Amino acid sequence: MAFKHLQEPQEELLGQFQRDLALRIELPHAIDYSGNIRLHRWHRLAQELHIDPDATIQRVDDFARQLADHVPDIRRRMTEEGLTHSIIARVADTLTARAAACRAILRPV
């Protein structure tokens, strides 16, 4: 089963990643009321890391687009492999919505 590893707990690694990212972008002040990281914080993070802010924003936007593009296929494959827990649909829907929200922040009108 290709997705068997998803059934194993990954919380410790994810928690450490979230703490590290939060420290780098100065959470909670970097987050708006809807839970989104503000665009100027992405710029500031890139500048502090001495990387091109525009390229960083483009890369994060590309990642969000790719995530939204791949989630439906991964959801379908998981279902085909017999993983039918209701959380799969909820996670897929949440990831798709968060990717759209991220793209909206990164590409203001």
37: closest CA among 24, 27, 50?
Answer: 27
Domain edges within the chain? 12-106
Which residues, listed in sequence order, are joined to residue 31 by a DSSP beta bridge?
37
* Residue 6 scores a pLDDT above 80: no
* Residue 16 scores a pLDDT above 50: yes
Q: Which residues contact 98 (CB under 8 A, 6 or more apart)?
A: none
Phi–psi pair at 58, nearest 5 degrees: -60, -40
Work out the average pLDDT over 37-52. 85
Q: What is the pLDDT of residues 61-105, one digit of tens each?
A: 999 999 999 999 999 999 999 998 888 899 999 999 988 988 888
Mean pLDDT of the chain: 77
